[in-house]
Structure 1
Amino acid sequence: MNQYVTGSIIRKLREEKKMTQLELAKHLQVSDKTVSKWETGKGYPDIALIEHISKALGISTIELLSGDDISNTNRSFNMLRTKLYVCPICGNVISATGEAVISCCGITLPVLEAEPADEMHAINVEQVEDEYYVTIHHDMTKDHYISFIVSVSDNGMNLVKLYPEGNAETRFKRNRTKKLYCYCNKHGLFEQRIIKKR
């Protein structure tokens, strides 16, 4: 965040909505001089107004606070570019197929950066008829475990949640699977590409 709610993003969004400063001010029950101060950086909106400003401008509160205008320019998304987010507070797993600002439990989540699977997080794949049987030989204790395994194809993804003291294994349909991910609660996200056998 460059500063607390940038005036430039307020002005840009207001102009895109073809609103005058006076119209926005009336909507927010402030003066047009107040809106002008925000837009020129001579003042900042009160925290109690942030949600109202967001709604008036058609932007999320997170986008407004970050100063980033998130727009969907990725009209033909690619599932193989799926981004994963994990909330460190509640464990919620969220995916996005393009740029996004993701928040959970009141915090903005960073995108997980996948590393190639190492020896400790090796993703073993065995073909069984029309499925991949996936196993990870990893501790599955209450404190250290594989939280989930994801299969990504060019037309979708399948996430299987795992639990401590269970087995780090699952099955996925082979059809169009291109990539597998596993998430270790201590070491992060690991990936392995699927190379089709002929």
Structure 2
Amino acid sequence: MNSAKVGQLIQRLRKEKNMTQRNLALLMNVSEQAISKWERGVGCPDISLLSRLSEVLGVNIEKILSGELQPNDQDSGSVGRMNWFSCKDCGNVITSTGGINLSCCGRILEPLQTHPIDEEHTMQIEEVEDDYYVTLKHEMSKDHYISFLAYVSIDRVLIIKLYPEQNAETRFPKMYGGTLYFHCTRHGLFRYELERSKGRRRSTGEKSTADR
């Protein structure tokens, strides 16, 4: 660990939050002299203080220890390249259109890998007025269920959170094609490229003309 880099980062983050060394010292329950030593690279925060320092400065502990923040490339804002995250412990659903480091319930989250529709994970799509009515014949027990359904179009995302004992179904307003996603708590994330059907009930198990 580079004490000088750590100190420079602490000073930078403190100033970004418009805090004096005294302000930070009071929040950390340490002396001003301790803060001064950290920022001058004379010493580093004790390991027991890192969690609180991370909370106060709003930066992950590992970034404090490395002494630097490395920004991601500029987000292009393309929802077509969206990443999906789901916490196995609490079921939290998170999305990102760019690179990001996420954690939940103390665990680092990795982007979900998408799978094509298979025989155990199919859905039916019906056009009802100006909506797509989507239904899945899938177990919805406490240990095995569809946790969310999502509809991604060019510039927007609609997410429906589902829970055990519910029916795995919802209605989405039509948005000129796009992609449907659903997440099975046991088997992962599935995607289906939506084609505008012509007013009839259609199962994703059927092959379109382009697939034949």
TM-score (norm 1): 0.72
Deviations 1:170-198 (A, max 9, x none): 11111144111111111111111112358
Which secondary structure does the structure 2 equivalent of 1:120 belong to? coil
Which secondary structure does the structure 1 equivalent of 2:120 belong to? helix
Shift of 1:54: 4.4
Q: Which moved more, 1:86-95 or 1:73-82?
A: 73-82
Deviations 1:125-147 (A, max 9, x none): 22223211111121122322111
| Partner residue, 2:127 | 127
| Partner residue, 1:163 | 163
**Are 1:179 and 2:175 matched, yes or no?**
no
| Partner residue, 2:63 | 64
Shift of 1:8: 8.9
| Partner residue, 1:188 | 188
Deviations 1:12-65 (A, max 9, x none): 846977x9xxxxx99675365896477xxxxx7422332565478x66125516
Percent of aligned pairs with the same amino acid: 37
Q: Which one-letter code corresponds to 1:147 in the other structure?
A: S
Task: Give distance in 1, aligned partners of 2:122 and 2:156.
Answer: 23
| Partner residue, 1:106 | 106
Q: Which moved more, 1:74-83 or 1:113-122?
A: 74-83
Q: What is the alpha-carbon root mean square deviation over aligned residues?
A: 3.5
Which secondary structure does the structure 2 equivalent of 1:121 belong to? coil
Compare CA radii of gyration and give the structure with the larger one.
2
Q: Which one-letter code corresponds to 1:123 in the other structure?
A: M
Aligned partners of 2:177 and 2:195 also within 8 Å: no
Count the aligned residue pairs: 184
Unaligned stretches of 5+ residues in structure 1: 20-24, 39-43
TM-score (norm 2): 0.68
Mapping of residues 78-157 of structure 1, within 5 Å: 78-157=78-157
